[in-house]
């Protein structure tokens, strides 16, 4: 049996419409894929490029002036290490806070138990600040600050320590891992080449160049060091004593 297919009027129009519909869909798909290929790198670039802005460097001495009630005027010693703020108030209370980009928040509790919280913005040249403050006793107002000295040093890092006894030769004795707490104090650890790790809790910086620190070793002896930090903050040198032993020392910043 043979089947005779007879074209019907209108079939060509239907086929043409179906083909055009498929062609249009294919074109739309190609356009969509093209737009996706263009916008995806831009989207990913925006996501990958986003991050925490570099914190402003506020280490130094700042003269703070307040208006309103409850603020403390005077000279503030401030440090910024990564995103942490430290320092001392004009009445020598410890300051703590955070800084992200140019946005800063810090606080301290005065001798009467009142906590003052300062929030503001660091100027683009990092020599001025301004913002608002509140106190736990209900005070509030505005504050401004101008940097009067930026000579404070930062010795945070790892240092390779070498001792030279007065009757001996230079010997690498270990590493110092130092963490600056304020413009004038630091803590850390000493790790000896022969083993043992000992805490440094009394580190001080005077006049931005003179450093002192000590630790008590496994024998109970106090290891005391006094020295000078060089101008680029990568080397220190001075004198030391361990019991009746004295000599000179040097330290090189390695990281």
Residue ranges per structural domain of the chain: 60-149, 157-253
Q: How far apart are CA 19 and CA 225, in angstroms?
A: 89
Instruction: Write out pLDDT tens, residues 137-147.
Output: 999 999 999 98
Cβ atoms within 10 Å, residue 68: 14
Q: Residues, the chain, total?
A: 255
Q: In this predicted model, what pLDDT tens digit does every residue of 82-110 receive, in sequence order?
A: 899 999 999 989 999 999 999 999 999 99
pLDDT attached to residue 250: 96
Candidates 2.40.128.120, 3.10.180.10, 2.40.160.40, 2.60.40.10; correct CATH number of 157-253? 2.40.128.120
CATH of 60-149, picked from 2.60.40.1930, 2.40.128.120, 3.40.50.720, 1.20.58.1690, is 2.40.128.120
Please state, in angstroms and rounded to a whole number, the distance separating the CA atoms of residues 18 and 249: 90
Contact criterion met (CB below 8 Å) for 89 and 75: no
Confidence (pLDDT) at 206: 81
73 pLDDT band, cuts 50/70/90, is very high
Question: Which pLDDT value is given to residue 158?
Answer: 95
Q: What is the mean pLDDT of residues 228-253?
A: 93
Mean local confidence (pLDDT), 179-202? 90
* Cβ burial, residue 114 (10 Å; 0-12/13-18/19+): middle
Angle at 236 between CA 230 and CA 240, to 5 degrees: 140
Q: What is the arithmetic mean of pLDDT over 100-126?
A: 94
Is residue 55's pLDDT more than 70? Answer: yes
How far is it, in rounded angstroms, from Cα 118 to Cα 96?
11
Q: Which is it for strands 103-109 and 197-206: parallel, antiparallel or unpaired? A: unpaired
78 closest CA partner among 198, 213, 196, 180:
180
The pLDDT-based confidence of 238 (bands split at 50, 70, 90) is very high
The pTM of the full predicted model, rounded to 2 decimals, is: 0.46
How many Cα atoms sit within 13 Å of 203 on the Cβ side? Answer: 25
pLDDT for residue 16 is more than 70: no
Nearest to 66 by CA among 126, 117, 1, 6: 117
**Nearest to residue 176, comparing CAs of 229, 219, 220?**
229
């Amino acid at each position: 049996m043979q089947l005779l297919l007879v074209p019907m009027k209108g079939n060509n129009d239907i086929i043409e419409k179906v083909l055009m519909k498929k062609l249009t869909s294919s074109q739309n798909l190609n356009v969509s894929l093209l737009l996706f290929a263009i916008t995806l790198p831009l989207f990913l670039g925006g996501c990958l490029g986003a991050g925490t802005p570099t914190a402003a460097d506020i280490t130094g001495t700042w003269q703070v002036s307040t208006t309103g009630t409850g603020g403390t005027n005077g000279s503030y010693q401030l440090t910024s290490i990564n995103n942490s703020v430290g320092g001392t108030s004009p009445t020598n209370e410890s300051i703590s806070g955070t800084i992200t980009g140019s946005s800063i928040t810090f606080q301290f509790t005065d001798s009467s138990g009142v906590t003052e919280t300062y929030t503001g913005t660091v100027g683009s040249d990092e020599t001025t600040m301004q913002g608002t403050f509140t106190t736990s006793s209900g005070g509030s107002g505005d504050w401004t600050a101008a940097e009067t000295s930026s000579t404070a040093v930062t010795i945070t890092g790892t240092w390779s320590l070498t001792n030279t006894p007065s009757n001996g030769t230079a010997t690498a004795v270990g590493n110092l891992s130092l963490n600056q707490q304020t413009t004038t104090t630091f803590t850390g650890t000493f790790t000896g080449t022969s083993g043992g790790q000992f805490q440094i809790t009394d580190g001080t910086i005077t006049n931005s160049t003179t450093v002192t620190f000590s630790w008590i070793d496994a024998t109970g002896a106090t290891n005391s060091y006094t020295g000078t930090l060089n101008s680029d903050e990568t080397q220190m040198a001075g004198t030391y004593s361990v019991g009746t032993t004295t000599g000179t020392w040097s330290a090189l910043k390695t990281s």
